[in-house]
Chains A and B, each alone.
Chain A
Amino acid sequence: MENKAPTTFADKVRAMPGGENLDLCYSCGTCVSKCLIQQKQEPEYNPRMLLKMVMLDMEKEAYQSPTTWMCSACDLCYQSCPQEIHISSIIEAVKTLATEAGYTTPLETVTVDENKCSGCGICVMVCPYEAPHLIEKMADGEMDRFSEVDAELCMGCGICVAACPMGAIARPGVSNPEIHEQIAISPLKNTPSLIVFICDWCLRADTDTALLESYPPNVRVVHIPCSGRIDPQMALLALESGIDGVLVCGCAPGECHYKRGTYVSSCKMSLMDEMMGQMRLANGHVRFVQIGTQERGRVRHEIDDMLAVLQKEAA
């Protein structure tokens, strides 16, 4: 009898959506050169090697590889793969198998506080990774609806943290109280103060990353995993505390590390801008910019420009 079920690890991956392209890879490594994760987050991260591991049936090694867990499917590699392999699909297939085999994600992921969750489903709709879903269960003697997050699917981008109306979703490092603590600074006298909320994925050049550490205290840089983590309330709270300007930097459309974060933030900031205009508030105090991964030096230009505008207004 012929057994049609995939037997080897490589066959299991090949049998999954996208996995059929596995053998097209000739290990040129272009994907690695394009990948921001290897550069910015994890030197061991390497899609080329992961695909090779799969081809060589190195199942356990593949499951333990950071590549399996850290790929956010930004697809910068897909755009330049000479074989047009949708690499993130193959990595996703490996992750699915790893999860089935009982492996867990090494990433910081979100948690839901059921005492706060209203079950509105906003997080379900906003998540680029289909990590949250609504469940129904008994609470205080009644059926109630809650959000539940599949940690293995969560990439920790924080987009849902910003979207959740109840502040019920937390992610270590970028939860509301932690961000608010960084906003609550005393503005300096006689110098315009600026808060820069920045998604680090849009800065490919090390000089740009280093620049952010070099500003004087009137420029406070708050690192967020994705511009989608921005809640316009953060900008308003900063202005209310006396900060003069808020600059939000995200990735260029099509380059968002978390697929849709930069679009979501763009929509939020655009509507907030309109509401502030309706209120006849002076414009230019809250700005949203989308920086391409190739736009070396742009962040300096944006910060300097905004400081100049605020300085001129103060004079």
Chain B
Amino acid sequence: MAKKNAKPKLAFYWASSCGGCEITVTELGMRLIEVGELVDIVFWPAAMDFKYDDVEAMADKEIDICFFNGAIRSDENEHVAHLLRAKSKLLVAFGSCSHLGGIPGLANLFDVETLLERVYDTAPSVEEASRGTIPQEVTKMPEGEINLPLLQKRVRSLAQTVDVDYFMPGCPPVVDQVWNVFQAVLAGKLPPKGSVIGAQEKTVCDVCTRKKGDRTTRIKEFKRPHEVELDPEMCFLTQGVICMGPVTRAGCGTPCLNGNMPCRGCYGPPDGVADQGAKMVSAIAALIDTDDPAVIAHIREGIIDPAGLGYRFGLAESILSELKYRK
């Protein structure tokens, strides 16, 4: 029996991720101490000494809220996702990877064999002696067997794996939004299940203060940010640099734009957009100079990696991934 007025139990987990989401939590600084006084952290592999066994030993729904970052890339990721789902009352997909597949989701552009070959065989950084040695699920060594989780054939978001209560976007979620969400959770002020939290409804353009394009905006070719001297006052699109702002949810506080770099789309698409990359294409085609029939070929040449641009954080959740991996 749970004690009355017991502190809520919190868990953090990282699946296939870079660790940036953990750092954003620690960026709470002194506020983390405040959080620590209000809750019991019962699982946080990156910061505290808990093991999977500790979680296995918990009763179902014993954790009040679990912030789960990282994509589902390996059998281990999937196992822990199911485990934490069972043990948690509320499961929050925390950060782009968990929300949409994130950067790891770009691996869906390739099959697993190609990826392993690249990483362990053909990449220039591989030492000659170990070239071609690809890790296996089971490796027999003199000291015993080494077991590694297998990579799955596709990267998935958390919601493509288990039922998720809330989604908190961002690569990583910005610290102020983390604080907002913690406060909302502790106060029990949460929107309906399935909502995106710690973000806004409209797009980055809504909060961007740069001067927008007008009827005279006509782009003949797109360039990459380092190829242009960027005007800090003007919309990036009008300067021929692709910005994901129009198809990306606001809420980040625009640190990239403030640094004079275009939005990369980490907060994911707003409600109503089914596929962020396809919508990006719809939006940027609006700017092209249609008086010049040759311009379409230029546009295509100038965008070196359209899928990487349009789906940088959302490929795993995209319709393209669904089409590729469906039976």
| A interface list, Cβ under 8 A from B | 116-127, 130, 134, 144-145, 162-163, 165-167, 176, 231-233, 235-237, 239-240, 253-254, 259-260, 263-268, 270-272, 274-276, 278-281
B268 within 8 A of A: no
Complex CA distance for A254 and B288, rounded to whole angstroms = 15
Least CB distance, B244 to chain A, in whole angstroms = 10
Give the contacting residue for A236; candidates B288, B293, B305, B323; CB below 8 A.
B323
Distance, CA A212 to CA B327, complexed state (A): 32
Q: Knowing A231-B278, A236-B278, A275-B307 are in contact, say whether A263-B215 is a contact too (CB < 8 A).
A: no
Given contacts A118-B202, A259-B290, 17 further A-B contacts (CB under 8 A): A118-B250, A119-B212, A120-B203, A121-B212, A122-B246, A145-B206, A162-B282, A165-B246, A176-B272, A236-B274, A236-B320, A239-B319, A264-B285, A275-B310, A276-B320, A278-B308, A279-B321
**CB<8 Å pairs between A and B, sample of 14:** A124-B215, A127-B215, A166-B270, A231-B278, A231-B282, A232-B281, A236-B320, A239-B319, A254-B293, A263-B295, A264-B285, A275-B281, A275-B311, A278-B308
Closest chain-B Cβ to A231's Cβ sits at a distance in Å of 5
How far, in angstroms, from A264 to B299 measured CA to CA in the complex? 11
User: Within the complex, which residue of B215, B270, B285, B320 is in contact with A275, where a contact is CB–CB below 8 Å?
Assistant: B320
> Are the C-beta atoms of B306 and A274 separated by less than 8 Å?
yes
Is the Cβ of B212 less than 8 Å from the Cβ of A120?
A: yes
With an 8 A cutoff between CB atoms, is B39 at the interface?
no
CA of A231 to CA of B300, assembled, Å: 17
Min distance, Cβ B213 to any Cβ of chain A, angstroms: 5
Which B residues lie at the A interface, using CB under 8 A?
108-109, 202-206, 212-215, 217, 235, 237, 245-247, 250, 270, 272-275, 277-279, 281-288, 290, 293, 295-296, 299-300, 303, 305-308, 310-311, 319-324
Residue in contact with A134 in the complex, picked from B212, B247, B270, B275, CB distance below 8 Å: B212
A308 to B303, CA, bound (A): 33
Q: Is the CB of A130 within 8 A of B215?
A: yes
Report A-chain residues with C-beta under 8 Å of the C-beta of B108.
279
A276 to B281, CA, bound (A): 12
A118 to B245, CA, bound (A): 10
In the complex, the answer to whether A233 meets B275 with C-beta atoms within 8 Å is yes
| Docked complex Cα distance between A118 and B246 (Å) | 8
With beta carbons under 8 angstroms apart, the residue of B277, B282, B296 that contacts A263 is B296
Cβ B205 vs Cβ A119 within 8 A: yes
Residues of B within 8 A of A239 (CB): 319, 323
CA distance A43 to B270 in the complex (A): 43
Contacts of B322 in A (CB 8 A): 240
Of the residues A117, A231, A254, A281, contact of B279 by C-beta under 8 Å: A231
Q: In the complex, what distance in Å separates the CA atom of A126 from the CA atom of B290? A: 10
Q: Is the interface of B mostly helix, strand, loop or mixed?
A: helix
User: A residues within 8 A CB of B306?
Assistant: 271, 274-275, 278
Known contacts A163-B286, A264-B290, A272-B281; A233/B203 CB under 8 A: no
Given contacts A165-B282, A232-B282, contact A275 B247 (CB under 8 A): no
Q: How far is the CB of B113 from chain A (nearest CB, A)?
A: 13
Alpha-carbon distance A127/B323, docked complex (angstroms): 32
Residues of B within 8 A of A240 (CB): 319, 322-323
- In the assembly, what is the distance between CA of A167 and CA of B290, in Å? 24
Contact B203 A165 (CB under 8 A): yes
Asked if B205 and A121 sit within 8 Å, CB to CB, the answer is yes
For B277, the closest partner residue in chain A by CB is A275
State whether B286 touches A122 (Cβ < 8 A). Answer: yes
- Write out the residue numbers on chain B whose beta carbons fall within 8 Å of the beta carbon of A266: 296
Chain A nearest Cβ from B318, distance in angstroms = 8
CB distance from A178 to the nearest CB of B (A): 14
Residues of chain A within 8 A (CB-CB) of B275 are 232-233, 236-237
* A120 contacts B245, C-beta separation under 8 Å: yes
Complex: A109 Cα to B319 Cα, angstroms = 31
Q: B293 contacts which chain A residues (CB < 8 A)?
A: 253-254, 263
Q: A122-B246, A166-B202 are in contact. Are A267 and B272 (CB under 8 A)?
A: no
* Distance in Å: Cβ of A61 to nearest Cβ of chain B: 32
Query: How close is A156's CB to chain B, nearest CB, in angstroms?
Result: 17
With beta carbons under 8 angstroms apart, the residue of B206, B290, B320 that contacts A281 is B320
Kindly list chain B residues whose C-beta atoms are within 8 Å of the C-beta of A272: 278, 281
CA distance A265 to B287 in the complex (A): 12
A127 to chain B, nearest CB (A): 7
Residues from chain B with Cβ under 8 Å of A117 in the complex:
202
| B282 proximity list for chain A (CB < 8 A) | 162-163, 165, 231-233, 268
Q: State A118–B278 Cα separation when bound (angstroms).
A: 18
Most B C-beta atoms less than 10 A away, residue of A125, A126, A127, A231:
A125
B283 contacts A165, CB within 8 Å? Answer: yes
Q: Closest residue of chain A to B238, judged by CB? A: A125
Instruction: Give chain A nearest CB distance to B308 CB in angstroms.
Output: 8
Cβ of B296 and Cβ of A267 under 8 Å apart? Answer: yes
Q: How far is the CA of A280 from the CA of B115 in the complex (A)?
A: 14
Assuming A240-B319, A281-B323, is B279 touching A271 (CB within 8 A)? no
Q: How far is the CA of A276 from the CA of B108 in the complex (A)?
A: 12
Chain B neighbourhood of A265, CB < 8 A: 285
Q: State how many angstroms separate the Cβ of A162 from the closest Cβ of chain B.
A: 6
Smallest Cβ-Cβ distance to A132: which chain B residue: B215
- Judging by beta carbons under 8 Å apart, are A124 and B290 in contact? no
B215 to chain A: which residues have CB within 8 Å? 124-125, 127, 130
Residue of A119, A121, A123, A254 with most partner-chain B CB within 10 A: A121
